[in-house]
């Protein structure tokens, strides 16, 4: 430090940026492609670029500063010490990902700069759109070379792309048509699954050529999509005409609860009975309450650094994304399952508090999600004060016993430092368990109901493997037996050992074995073998290395031409190539055509 101004600046950038990024990640904000996460990603990428260009770090390095940073801020920001491994892992994955982008982008920029005096907008957009190279880095590289970036051209290309994307998802929304003057919209869905209501207003919506309608009701039991929970569906019954209108979905728009339907009532005025699909709501509530229990169990098993990063809750499945730096092991997943199911069996009653002042809720130890926007008053959902206490606007079971049973069905990676857990509950669990029992029962019958199912199945697999090897051995022997017969049929044409013929073999591997055996035994060979594998014609072309070099014969080119006779295609290397087709009757013509290449 102190020897060169550029390296000095780069060191200060790294020092400053790793602090900002590490503190933000420890607080729960992960790098992403939008909102606050994108700010973190850009800060980190800027640091990677300075390290790459001015400090000559071509491999990930910035993550190695995290332990030092944590030690420096011990007693000041202990959250970083507690989550040191997690933060370092996230930074490392971002570095690895961006270094690939950076290397490609810088190389393309350097090549472009050699023959241009300014950076065109279209080239800048190509770097951004095709290679993921941020425009601010393009500007930075340009400034260092004294070049200008055509930002107007870049913005124009970006706008064209946006317009194209917008057109693909265009929604034509009509004007609201008022039915009544009631502007007091009431949601009663926490306590009731049906309500007497009136239509306040409606409008027509057209998307991708499909027409739908949106209704606003004066009183509604339908929960609008939010907080990861899907919107309710159900029916609207006219009390005057008896007409039934199906509500397909419910969403929120500018504070309004909007109900989606494919048709409108004949009579818009008057009273209606709004009824939620009860089974769908109950199944969804099971999954939503289970996510709260899952969140608490994950913190208990994996550590307090675990935070929710996203969720999807519907009637069939719950999907829960968490901040965690490593794969959740099978043993950890079992522990989590056991904890959740124990809480279900306890039948813990729901404790729901509405209109709680936000700060009061935080002071009570409630779990709030980083980056989530909360109002002055919040709703607190508690299943045991010592276990799960979260801010939530969704619908929930009255007691955990209603959930029935909880089963994790998958765990996977979503992004750097984010893992995804999918699980099922209640009626879906019962269906899956029954399905698996039926499967095991059917397999047991096929194996004559052995006492030790696993060892019997292992024995069957071993026997099958041994039989496959015997069959493969037999096929190879048959292929090699053909070799001697075929060697007798080889013709000398213009100094080339030529053979084109159709053979009977069971599969492509056998054909390949035969072709290589002939290639190894016969010098200066040009070989074409045809075979019909149960109605699927196959051609194999072999050209000796000497012929390929001296006469320019290329097996890949030849096989593509011959494959036209069997309505197919293929390719390969100059000395070995294969092709498949749809017309076995064309094999004789393809084989006859082969002689043309050496005559």
Domains annotated for the chain, with CATH where assigned, are 5-166 (no CATH), 171-276 (2.40.30.130), 291-426 (3.30.980.10), 474-597 (3.10.310.40)
| Cα–Cα distance, 71 to 428 (Å, whole number) | 48
| Cα–Cα distance, 342 to 324 (Å, whole number) | 24
Taking CA atoms, 420 is separated from 41, 312, 314, 413, 455, in Å, by 21, 11, 16, 6, 34
Q: Please, how many CA atoms are within 13 Å of residue 67, restricted to the half-sphere of its CB? A: 5
Beta-carbon count within 10 A of 92 CB: 19
| Cα–Cα distance, 400 to 316 (Å, whole number) | 18
User: Nearest Cα to 273, choosing from 242, 237, 222?
Assistant: 237
| Cα–Cα distance, 548 to 259 (Å, whole number) | 71
User: Residues near 507 by Cβ (< 8 Å), separated by ≥ 6?
Assistant: 475, 533
Pairing state between β 576-580 and 256-261: unpaired
The 3-state DSSP composition of the chain as helix, strand, coil percent (nearest 5) reads 45, 25, 30
For 358, the 3-state DSSP assignment is: helix
User: Nearest Cα to 576, choosing from 520, 532, 495, 531?
Assistant: 520
**Per-residue pLDDT tens over the stretch 556-571:** 999 999 999 999 988 8
Beta-carbon count within 10 A of 36 CB: 14
The per-residue pLDDT for 326 is 82
| Cα–Cα distance, 511 to 504 (Å, whole number) | 9
User: Residues near 181 by Cβ (< 8 Å), separated by ≥ 6?
Assistant: none
Structure tokens at 488: 């007798």
The per-residue pLDDT for 410 is 95
The per-residue pLDDT for 195 is 95
Distance of CA 336 to the CA centre of its chain: 24
The per-residue pLDDT for 69 is 94
Residue 522 near residue 545 (C-beta atoms within 8 A): no
Structure tokens at 473: 């051995």
The per-residue pLDDT for 220 is 96
What tens-digit pLDDT sequence spans the chain (599 residues)?
889 998 999 999 999 999 999 999 888 788 887 778 889 988 998 898 888 888 888 889 899 999 999 999 998 988 888 888 888 888 998 888 888 888 888 888 988 998 888 999 999 998 888 877 888 888 888 988 899 999 999 999 888 888 777 666 566 778 889 988 777 889 999 999 999 999 999 999 987 778 899 999 999 999 999 989 999 999 999 988 889 999 999 999 888 999 999 999 988 998 999 999 999 999 999 999 999 999 999 999 998 888 888 899 999 999 999 988 788 999 999 999 999 999 999 999 999 999 999 889 888 888 776 556 777 889 999 999 999 999 999 999 999 999 999 999 999 988 767 899 999 999 999 999 999 999 988 988 888 888 888 888 899 899 999 998 888 888 777 777 788 888 889 998 888 899 999 998 888 888 888 888 898 888 889 999 999 988 899 999 999 988 888 888 899 999 999 999 999 988 888 899 999 999 999 999 999 998 888 87
Number of H helices and number of E strands within the chain?
A: 17, 23
Structure tokens at 453: 């199912």
Cβ density class 105-132: b for 16+ within 10 Å, e for less: bbebbeebbeeeeebebebbbbbbeeeb
The per-residue pLDDT for 207 is 77
The per-residue pLDDT for 170 is 60
**Per-residue pLDDT tens over the stretch 101-111:** 888 888 889 88
| Cα–Cα distance, 526 to 541 (Å, whole number) | 8
User: Nearest Cα to 259, choosing from 195, 209, 310?
Assistant: 195
Following DSSP, what letter does each residue of 99-159 receive, concatenated? HHHHHHHHHHHHHHHHT-SSB-HHHHHHHHHHH---HHHHHHHHHHTT--B-HHHHHHHHH
User: Nearest Cα to 56, choosing from 4, 116, 123?
Assistant: 4
**Residue that the structure tokens 């004066």 belong to:** 218
The per-residue pLDDT for 395 is 95
Which strand ranges, in their side-by-side order, compose the sheet holding 525-533? 491-493, 496-502, 525-533, 536-543, 576-580, 569-572
Residue 267 near residue 240 (C-beta atoms within 8 A): yes
User: Nearest Cα to 36, choosing from 370, 487, 524?
Assistant: 370
**Residue that the structure tokens 């199906």 belong to:** 246
Start-end of H helices in 217-311: 278-302
User: Residues near 92 by Cβ (< 8 Å), separated by ≥ 6?
Assistant: 60, 63
Structure tokens at 356: 């709680």
């Amino acid at each position: 430090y102190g020897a060169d101004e550029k390296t000095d600046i780069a060191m200060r950038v790294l020092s400053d940026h790793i602090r900002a990024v590490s503190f933000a990640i420890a607080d729960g904000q992960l790098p992403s492609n939008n909102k606050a996460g994108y700010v973190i990603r850009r800060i980190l990428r800027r640091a990677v670029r300075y390290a790459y260009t001015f400090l000559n770090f071509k491999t990930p390095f910035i993550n190695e500063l995290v332990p030092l940073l944590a030690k420096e801020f011990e007693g000041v920001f202990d959250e970083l010490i507690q989550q040191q491994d997690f933060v370092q892992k996230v930074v490392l994955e971002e570095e690895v990902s961006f270094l690939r982008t950076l290397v490609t982008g810088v190389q393309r920029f350097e090549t472009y700069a050699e023959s241009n005096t300014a950076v065109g907008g279209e080239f800048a957009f190509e770097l951004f759109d095709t290679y993921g190279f941020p425009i601010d880095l393009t500007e930075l590289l340009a400034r260092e070379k004294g070049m200008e970036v055509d930002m107007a051209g870049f913005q124009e290309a970006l706008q064209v792309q946006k317009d194209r994307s917008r057109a693909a998802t265009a929604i034509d929304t009509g004007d609201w048509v008022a039915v009544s003057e009631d502007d007091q919209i009431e949601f009663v869905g926490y306590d009731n699954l049906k309500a007497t209501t009136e239509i306040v207003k409606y409008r027509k919506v057209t998307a991708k050529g499909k027409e739908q309608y949106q209704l606003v009701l004066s009183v509604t039991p339908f929960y609008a999509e939010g907080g990861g929970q899907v919107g309710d569906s159900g029916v609207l019954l006219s009390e005057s005409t008896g007409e039934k209108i199906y509500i397909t979905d419910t969403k929120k728009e500018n504070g309004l609860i909007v109900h989606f339907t494919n048709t409108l009532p004949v009579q818009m005025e008057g009273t209606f009975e709004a009824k939620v699909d009860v089974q769908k709501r109950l199944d969804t509530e099971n999954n939503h309450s289970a996510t709260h229990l899952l969140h608490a169990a994950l913190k208990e098993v994996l550590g307090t650094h675990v935070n929710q990063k996203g969720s999807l809750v519907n009637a069939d499945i719950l999907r829960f994304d968490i901040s965690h730096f490593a794969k959740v092991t099978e043993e950890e997943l079992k522990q989590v399952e056991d904890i959740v199911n124990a809480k279900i069996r306890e039948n813990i009653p729901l404790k729901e508090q509405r209109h709680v002042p936000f700060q009061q809720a935080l002071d009570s130890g409630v779990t709030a999600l980083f980056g989530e926007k909360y109002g002055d008053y919040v709703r607190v959902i508690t299943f045991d004060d010592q276990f799960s206490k979260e801010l939530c606007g969704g619908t929930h079971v009255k007691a955990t016993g209603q959930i029935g049973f909880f089963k994790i069905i998958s765990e996977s990676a979503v992004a750097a430092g984010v893992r995804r857990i999918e699980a099922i509950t209640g009626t879906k669990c019962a269906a899956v368990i029954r399905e698996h029992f039926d499967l095991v029962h059917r397999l047991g019958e096929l194996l004559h109901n052995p006492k030790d199912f696993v060892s019997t199945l292992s024995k069957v697999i071993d026997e099958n493997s041994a039989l496959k090897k015997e069959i493969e051995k037999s096929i190879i022997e048959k292929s090699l037996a053909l070799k001697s017969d075929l060697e007798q049929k080889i013709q000398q044409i213009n100094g080339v050992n030529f053979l084109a013929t159709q053979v009977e073999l069971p599969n492509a591997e056998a054909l390949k074995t035969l072709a290589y055996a002939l290639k190894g035994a016969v010098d200066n060979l040009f070989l074409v073998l045809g075979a019909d594998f149960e109605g699927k014609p196959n051609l194999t072309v072999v050209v000796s290395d000497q012929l390929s070099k001296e006469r320019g014969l290329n097996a890949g080119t030849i096989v593509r031409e011959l494959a036209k006779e069997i309505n197919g295609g293929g390719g390969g290397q100059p000395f070995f190539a294969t092709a498949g087709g749809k017309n076995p009757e064309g094999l004789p013509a393809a084989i006859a055509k082969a002689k043309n290449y050496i005559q």
